[in-house]
Amino acid sequence: MFTPTVEFIRSLFNTTEFIPLHEPRFVGNEKKYLNACIDSTFVSSVGAFVTAFEENIAAYTGAAHAIATVNGTSALHISLLLADVKAGDEVITQPLTFVATCNAISYCNATPVFVDVDRDTMGLSPEALQHFLQTHCEVENFTCKNRTTGKIIKACVPMHTFGHPCRIDAIKALCDAYHITVVEDAAESLGSYRNGKHTGTFGTLGTFSFNGNKIITSGGGGCIVTDDDTLAKKAKHLTTTAKVPHQWEYAHDEIGYNYRMPNLNAALLVAQLEQLEMFLDKKRELSAAYQNFFAAHEIAFVSEPPQSQSNYWLNAVILDDRAQRDRFLEATNAAGVMTRPIWRLMNTLTMFQEAQCGRLENAQWLEERVVNIPSSVRL
C-alpha cells in the first residue's frame, strides 16, 4: 500500500527529489514589491504595504477591519486581551490544535478548558460544547461561571483544522447564549467558508497566520479581523506598543506590545494575495486527485465538511489505527516524501495536563490516525 502512495505522490509533483509537506510559491510581484519597499526606506511597522495589506485582507474576508501583526500567535494573544481575558479566567478550546492556540491563552495568565472535536471537521464540536456548558456552567450577571472550578469562562477559541471550517455558526450561537466571546483561530483557513461566510468573521474577533508554511506567506506574519470599530482601534493601539499618536513625543498610556507587521513582510503578502485565487484552484485540483487515489486504495481522505468550502491547506488521510499510521509515516519519510502526524493532544502536554477536560473520544481517535501528506501548490 505504501509504495503505490509514494509513487503517486511523486507523479503528482513530478520529481524524484525530496518532497516537502508545504513549501511557498513566489510567482508574482513579490520581488517587485520588496524592491519598492526597500527603495521607500520604510521597512519596519509603518509603510504603504502594511496599509494596503490590511485593506486587501479585510476586503477579501469581508471583515470591516484588519490589523496586521508579526505572527498568528501575537494576533491571538491580542484578540484574547480584547475579549477581556484576564489572569485566572478560563478559555474553552479544542485539544486537537497547534500549541500556539494554548500558548496565547497562557500569555493572558488564563487556563484552557478542553472540549472534544467532531471527526468530520476535526474542529470544536458544538454538541460536545453544549454538553460541557450544560454540565458545568451557569450564567450569573451576564457572565459564564464554571461551577466545577469556580472560575469565569471568558472566551472560546475554536480552530479551523487544516483549513476545514468547523461548525462555527452553531458554536457562536451557543457561546452567545452563555455570554462567552468567540475568538476564531483561523490561522490555517484563509480562503475557507462556512455557508458562504469566510472563516474568522463569525466571532467577535478572528485571527490568521502567514507563517512560511501557510497558503500565503510573508515568512512570518498574522492579522486580526473584526467588525467592531472600537476593538479594531484598540488592537492597533496595543500592537503598536500602546503609543499615543504624536509627531515627536513618546507617550504610552498602558502596557503595549511590539506586534505590528513590518512593511517588508506586508510587501510580500500584498503580492501573495494577488495569487491566492490561483493557489486555491490548484489546491482543489490536488485534493481531488488525492481523493480519487485514496478511494481506490480504501484509505479515508479528509474532504471538506458539508455546508463548507475548504482551502485544503494541508491534505490529510485517516489510517486504520496508530500502528498503521506509524508504518505509513516511516515508509513515506524514508522514501523522501514528507508526511507528519497530527498534533499531540494539548491536554497531554506537560504544561496543560492539569486543565479541565470534557470527554475527548474523537480527539483521541483522530490523534491516533491522521497523517498530513504533501500539499504544496503545483505549478
pLDDT per residue over 77-111, tens digit each? 999 999 999 999 999 999 999 999 999 999 999 99
CATH number at residue 183: 3.40.640.10
Domain end among 275, 306, 326:
275
The reply to whether 240 and 229 lie within a common domain is yes
Q: Does position 224 have pLDDT exceeding 80, yes or no?
A: yes
**φ, ψ (nearest 5 deg) of residue 261:** -70, 135
pLDDT in tens, 6-62: 999 999 999 999 999 999 999 999 999 999 999 999 999 889 999 999 999 999 999
pLDDT at 2: 87
Place of cell 471527526: 119
The reply to whether 237 and 338 lie within a common domain is no
Flag whether 240 is in a domain: yes
pLDDT in tens, 198-208: 999 999 999 99
The reply to whether 162 and 177 lie within a common domain is yes
What does pTM read for this prediction? 0.97
| Contact predicate 148/159, CB 8 Å | no
Q: Does position 148 have pLDDT exceeding 90, yes or no?
A: yes
Mean of pLDDT values over 237-263: 95
Q: Nine-digit cell at 82?
A: 480584547
Mean of pLDDT values over 237-249: 94
pLDDT at 180: 98
Number of domains making up the chain: 2
Q: Distance between CA 26 and CA 213 in Å, rounded?
A: 13
Which has the closest alpha carbon to 214: 143, 160, 155? 160
Flag whether 352 is in a domain: no
Quote the domain boundaries for residue 331: 2-25+276-346+357-373
247 CB burial (10 A radius; 0-12, 13-18, 19+): exposed
The reply to whether 148 and 79 lie within a common domain is yes
Flag whether 179 is in a domain: yes
Flag whether 218 is in a domain: yes
> What does the mean pLDDT of the chain come to?
97
The reply to whether 363 and 340 lie within a common domain is yes
